[in-house]
Amino acid sequence: MPAKIFHMNLKIKSSKNINEKASLVTIVSSKTNLPDDFKSLSKDYIKTNFSAQKPLIKNELENINVLALAENKDDFKKLEGLRVNGYLTCKAANNSKIKSIQITGENASEVLAFTEGLILANYQFNKYFSDKKDNSLSEISVVCASVSKKDIEELTNVSEAVYHARTLVNEPQHFLTATQLSEEIKSLSKEAGFTVEVFTKKKIETLKMGGLLAVNKGSVEPPTFNILEYKPKNPSNKKPIVLVGKGVVYDTGGLSLKPTAGSMDFMKSDMGGSAAVIGALYATAKNKLDVWVVGLIPATDNRPSGAAYAPGDVITMYNGKTVEVLNTDAEGRMILADALTYAIKYNPELVIDLATLTGMAARTVGHHATVSMGTADKETHESLKESGFAVYERLAEMPFFDEYFDMLKSDIADVKNIGGMNAGAITAGKFLEMFTKNEKGEHAYPWIHLDIAGPAFLTIEDAYRGKNGSGVGVRLLYNFIKKYAK
């Protein structure tokens, strides 16, 4: 059953004048010259309670009156501080049951950053509560002459894309099977204006996508392979940017069953890479960027059963290479490999894959960064890192020496699917690299691999990124894709 699983809970508009009777946020650039309302506060109070990370929030009769400070010299940090201010204001507004809030300031990027933090903080996933307790905040008015209607539309669309990505991650596997994920992609594609083609099991078998089929063997649910495409009339890029997302809707580990108590609790989030790709296509299409983007999403769950693939099996992949499976829990790379091979036929400008690929990536950088590596040139990788700072979804680049590849040598097949104790995030990347090569063994396209295992799912609230599915990757990809626009 197709279902549109989410509607944005906020209306965002621009207005020319401040309504004196409604709640108001004012962004100021220094602590001197505060608006009249705040002049009664003592200097000491302001000194200890007001900073770039902490807004002054005054509760009035039915409203709140907020001052946010945009003071940091580092632009990235300044904007991030304002997003966090937006998050703190969102909390205060909902606690005070406020429905509508106005945001004003001189500088467009500051006003937009604050608004972004506020919107993203207001996200809720209430579907499964009997008592929904929806946030009161349902309207934001931006009062800033230098913010255009188009700016607001763009921010709304990108935020909505993040909401969708979060919801997809938050949906449990009993609802979000591979087939249901495809249904959700179809419904989002109609809403945003991109196309989707879904390969079902038969077609996947005909194509001999051995990696995806192997992981799916233990499942009662069929796999899907999803091709999302946004191709504007006159794209600024002649060759598409291809985004590949890991769509493991649930990862039990398979026969190499995940060991410790609790380790499966959040494995519904193992499709976080696919959620980022879906969100990026949604935002790109809805904002009508003139950039040609393709998304490839192999989807399945990973389970043990009598039919499941087993350690010791040798799998022939979509590109004909053979893989000795020594751990069925290293399933993400098996399905991504086939998608990376499939990407070759698009002759891509660049391929970026996103995956909750390794526990090692999460252990290395925690939830504050995405692990990155790849074969793209330095300039491209740096540009993606810049985007990471701009949206505060930062990258930590790993070494990617060819020697790491030696750790994947198998006694009986072309390669094995695990690399050993050390450098687990890197050897996973090296495994993927094999499948970015053509028949001659040359790299078929420049490629960046993003391991989002750390930031994709948050078990403690992290400001406007929230708790649970974070939607990481959507804003990063959108910011980066926009650089290719004319």
Between 183 and 301, CB nearer to Zn ion? 301
Beta-carbon contacts of residue 297 (< 8 Å; ≥ 6 apart): 181, 185, 224, 225, 226, 228, 244, 245, 247, 274, 277, 278, 339
119 sits near ligand BES (criterion: CB under 6 A): no
Between 104 and 170, CB nearer to ligand BES? 170
332 sits near ligand BES (criterion: CB under 6 A): yes
169 sits near ligand BES (criterion: CB under 6 A): no
Min dist. Cβ of residue 43 to ligand BES (A) = 48
Alpha-carbon 199 to chain mean position = 23
Q: In whole angstroms, what is the distance from residue 19 CA to residue 243 CA?
A: 44
Q: Strand 224-230 to strand 195-199: parallel, antiparallel, or no bridges (unpaired)?
A: antiparallel
Min dist. Cβ of residue 255 to Zn ion (A) = 11
Mapping DSSP to helix (H, G, I), strand (E, B) and coil, where does residue 8 land?
Answer: coil
Structure tokens at 157: 């669309």
Torsion 161-162-164-169 (CA) sign: positive
Beta-carbon contacts of residue 107 (< 8 Å; ≥ 6 apart): 27, 29, 70, 146
- Part in contact with Zn ion (CB under 5 A); list of ranges 244-252, 313-321, 376-384, 464-472: 244-252
**CA R_g for the chain:** 23
- Part in contact with Zn ion (CB under 5 A); list of ranges 73-81, 187-195, 331-339, 425-433: 331-339
Out of 155, 204, 360, 391, point to the residue binding ligand BES (CB under 6 A): 360
Beta-carbon contacts of residue 471 (< 8 Å; ≥ 6 apart): 161, 162, 163, 164, 165, 166, 169, 275, 276, 279, 465
Q: In whole angstroms, what is the distance from residue 64 CA to residue 41 CA?
A: 15
Out of 356, 372, 387, 468, point to the residue binding ligand BES (CB under 6 A): 356
Q: In whole angstroms, what is the distance from residue 303 CA to residue 223 CA?
A: 12
Q: How many residues bind ligand BES (CB under 6 A)?
A: 16
Between 229 and 331, CB nearer to ligand BES? 331
Min dist. Cβ of residue 267 to ligand BES (A) = 6
Q: Confirm whether 333 is a catalytic residue.
A: yes
Q: In whole angstroms, what is the distance from residue 353 CA to residue 350 CA?
A: 10
Residue pair 315/210 in contact by the 8 Å Cβ criterion: yes
Out of 24, 213, 291, 453, point to the residue binding ligand BES (CB under 6 A): 453
Between 184 and 329, CB nearer to ligand BES? 329
331 sits near ligand BES (criterion: CB under 6 A): yes
110 sits near Zn ion (criterion: CB under 5 A): no
Residue 213, contacted partner among ligand BES, Zn ion, none, CB below 5-8 A by kind: none
Cα end-to-end distance, the chain, whole Å:
39
- Part in contact with Zn ion (CB under 5 A); list of ranges 24-32, 180-188, 242-250, 372-380: 242-250
Q: In whole angstroms, what is the distance from residue 259 CA to residue 24 CA?
A: 51
Nearest to 250 by CA among 150, 195, 313, 331: 331
Beta-carbon contacts of residue 143 (< 8 Å; ≥ 6 apart): 14, 15, 16, 17, 18, 102, 103, 104
362 sits near ligand BES (criterion: CB under 6 A): yes
248 sits near Zn ion (criterion: CB under 5 A): yes
358 sits near ligand BES (criterion: CB under 6 A): yes
418 sits near ligand BES (criterion: CB under 6 A): yes
Residue 57, contacted partner among ligand BES, Zn ion, none, CB below 5-8 A by kind: none
160 sits near ligand BES (criterion: CB under 6 A): no
Residue 328, contacted partner among Zn ion, ligand BES, none, CB below 5-8 A by kind: none
Q: Confirm whether 258 is a catalytic residue.
A: yes
Q: In whole angstroms, what is the distance from residue 398 CA to residue 83 CA?
A: 28
452 sits near ligand BES (criterion: CB under 6 A): no
Min dist. Cβ of residue 457 to ligand BES (A) = 7
Structure tokens at 96: 């005070």
Torsion 430-412-247-272 (CA) sign: negative
Active site residue: 258, 288, 467, 482, which one? 258
Strands (E), 329-435: 350-355, 370-374, 395-397, 415-416
Active site residue: 78, 201, 303, 333, which one? 333
- Residue linked to tokens 């291809």: 242
- Part in contact with ligand BES (CB under 6 A); list of ranges 3-11, 278-286, 341-349, 357-365: 357-365
Question: How many degrees, rounded to 5, is the angle at CA 475 between CA 469 and CA 175?
Answer: 30
- By rule CB under 5 A, what string of x and - marks binding of each residue 251-270 to Zn ion? x------------------x
Between 137 and 271, CB nearer to Zn ion? 271
Out of 285, 308, 330, 476, point to the residue binding ligand BES (CB under 6 A): 330
Between 226 and 358, CB nearer to ligand BES? 358
Min dist. Cβ of residue 245 to Zn ion (A) = 12
Contacts with Zn ion by CB under 5 A lie at: 248, 251, 270, 329, 331-332
Contacts with ligand BES by CB under 6 A lie at: 251, 270, 327, 329-332, 356-360, 362, 418, 424, 453
Residues with a catalytic annotation lie at 258, 333
